[in-house]
Amino acid sequence: MSAVGLRASRPAYALFVLPFVALYAALLIWPLLKGVFISFHDHDLLSNESFWVGLANYAELWDDEVFRQVVGNTIRFVAISTPIFVILSLSLALALNRPGKLAFLLRATFFCASVFSVTLVTLVWKLALMPGRGLLPQLLTALGLPELPLLTDENLALLTVALITVWWIIGLPMILFLSALQQIPAELYEAAALDNASRWRTLTRVTLPSLKRAIVLVALIELIRQFQVFPQILLMTNGGPNNSTRPIVQFIYEQAFMQLSLGYATAASQVLLAIMLVGVSAQIWIERDKKGGRA
């Protein structure tokens, strides 16, 4: 029994995946379908009354210029933050993938911020950016630089929140890369050492190629998470200034909980789903292409 044994198709093997798939279907897919159903209704959140409106919610979203802006903001946020996440966390993981107390401390330091809740993170940064008296403006003034209204300038606010988000949760993609680095077989490194390969060559010829799958994974997970960005923007800029930072999820929240318009809110969430599906499919397709064979 060799490769054939491993490759033999047996229905019993489906039992490995069944527990998860059952929960997944019941607690994710089923509510999703219900949500889609609601999106075809005008549904009042508080009284739970609803009536059928067909595609009216989607048509209204199409015409809603606030929603268009909101989609644009979200895409911009993802476009800014995802590359930074991937590159920075990869660099940190590569640099800190070593034994020793110092590396241990440094890894913990970069991870530290992610244990705190979003409420605290936004609070401490709002204080640090407080005009005139915050840490950052004071630093800028001390260096003789002009004080930038980072959170109240239309052009800077989204970038600022994106950078704060990176500061907050860089630890998680970093440990993803670290765990992937542990999988690279020692023999590859030994071979490179035997060839007297330089550090750069080892990095580019051995490490990075072995990390391709992990890079796609991290890019994917960050894409997914940042498309759903919400609490930090709500708490730091409330969607402003002038709707330049409001993300899709905040729009959904406001429609559902403040305007009590559940149908409209779920329609917007289906649009978000569609956008994310494009992004996720693209990522997975890239990975599939690189390997060929089993996916």
Partner 1 sequence: MKRLLLIAAALLAACSPPPDDPSRTEITLMRFFGSCESKFGAVNDVRQGVGECGIVTTLVNEFNATNGEGIVVRTQIGEWGPYYDQLTARLVAKDVPTVAVMHESALGDYVRRKLVRPLHEDFARIGIPVDDFTEHARRGVSFGGKVHALPFDTWAWLWHLNTGLFKQAGLVQGGRAKLPGSPEELIAQAEQFKRRTGKPYFAWAVANETAANFRSFLTLVAQQGAPLFSSDGKSIDMRQPAVMKALTLMQRLYAEGHVKPHLDYAAANQAFLNGEAGVLLVGTWTLDQFLREADKPGSALAGGYEVVPFPQLYAKKAVFADGHAWALFEGGAKTERHHQAALRFLKFVWSRSGEWARTGHLPVSRQVADSAAFKQLPMRAGLTEITETGVGMPGNVPTQRAIELLIGEDVANLMLSNKPVAEVQANVEKRVNTALKKARR
Partner 2 sequence: MNPLLRRGWFDRLLMAGLCLLALAWMLPLLWVLALSFKPNEFLMARTDVFLAPPYTLDNYLDILGTSAVFRWLGNSALVALLQTAGVLVLSSLAGYGFARCEFPGRRWLFAFVLFGLAVPAQSVFIPLHHQFTSWGLQNTHAGLILPGLAAPFGVYLMTQYFKAIPLELEEAALLDNASRLKTFVRVILPLSLPAQATLGIFTFLACWNDYLWPLVIATQPDMYTLTRGLASTQTNFAQSEGLGFLMAQAVFAGAPVLLLYLFFQKHLVSAVSSR
Q: For residue 32, what are its two tokens? A: 């999703």
Distance, in Å, from the CA atom of 294 to the CA atom of 83, rounded to the nearest integer, reads: 28
Q: Does 214 bind partner 2 (CB under 8 A)?
A: yes
Contact pattern from residue 208 through residue 247 relative to partner 1, giving x for each residue in contact according to CB under 8 A and a dash for the rest = ---------------------------xxxxxxxxx----
> DSSP for 49-78?
-EEE-TTHHHHHHHH-HHHHHHHHHHHHHH
Whose Cβ is closer to partner 2: residue 237's or residue 269's? Answer: 269
Q: Does 62 bind partner 1 (CB under 8 A)?
A: no
| Phi, psi for residue 133 in degrees, rounded to 5 | -110, -5
By the 8 A CB rule, do 268 and 248 touch?
Answer: yes
Q: Does 77 bind partner 2 (CB under 8 A)?
A: no
Q: Does 228 bind partner 2 (CB under 8 A)?
A: yes
Q: Which of the listed partners (partner 1, partner 2, none) does 264 bind, with a CB threshold of 5 to 8 Å by partner kind?
A: partner 1
The interface with partner 1 within residues 127-166 (CB under 8 A) comprises 127, 130-133, 149, 151-152, 154
Q: Does 9 bind partner 2 (CB under 8 A)?
A: yes
Whose Cβ is closer to partner 1: residue 45's or residue 221's? Answer: 45
**Least separation, in Å, of the C-beta of 109 and partner 2?**
4
The interface with partner 2 within residues 175-204 (CB under 8 A) comprises 175-176, 178-180, 182-183, 185-186, 189-190, 192-193, 197-199, 201-203
Q: Which of the listed partners (partner 2, partner 1, none) does 151 bind, with a CB threshold of 5 to 8 Å by partner kind?
A: partner 1
By the 8 A CB rule, do 43 and 49 touch?
Answer: yes
129-146 burial by CB neighbour count: b if 16+ within 10 A, else e?
beeeebebbeeeeeeeee
Q: Does 98 bind partner 2 (CB under 8 A)?
A: yes
One residue of 42, 84, 231, 241 binding partner 2 per CB under 8 A: 231
One residue of 22, 66, 103, 135 binding partner 1 per CB under 8 A: 66
Tell me, letter by letter, the H, E, C secondary structure of 198-239.
CHHHHHHHHHHHHCHHHHHHHHHHHHHHHHCCCHHHHHHCCC
One residue of 59, 79, 120, 145 binding partner 2 per CB under 8 A: 120
Q: For residue 60, what are its two tokens? A: 């209204």
The helix-helix angle for 262-291 and 56-63 (nearest 10°) equals 80
One-letter amino acid at 40 equals F
Whose Cβ is closer to partner 1: residue 231's or residue 279's? Answer: 231
Q: Does 81 bind partner 1 (CB under 8 A)?
A: no
Whose Cβ is closer to partner 1: residue 14's or residue 66's? Answer: 66
Q: Does residue 20 sit in helix, strand or coil?
A: helix
Whose Cβ is closer to partner 2: residue 8's or residue 143's? Answer: 8
Distance, in Å, from the CA atom of 202 to the CA atom of 128, rounded to the nearest integer, reads: 41
Among candidate residues 185, 295, 229, the one with its CA nearest the CA of residue 85: 229
Q: Give residues in contact with partner 1 (CB under 8 A).
A: 42, 44-49, 66, 126-127, 130-133, 149, 151-152, 154, 235-243, 254, 257-261, 264
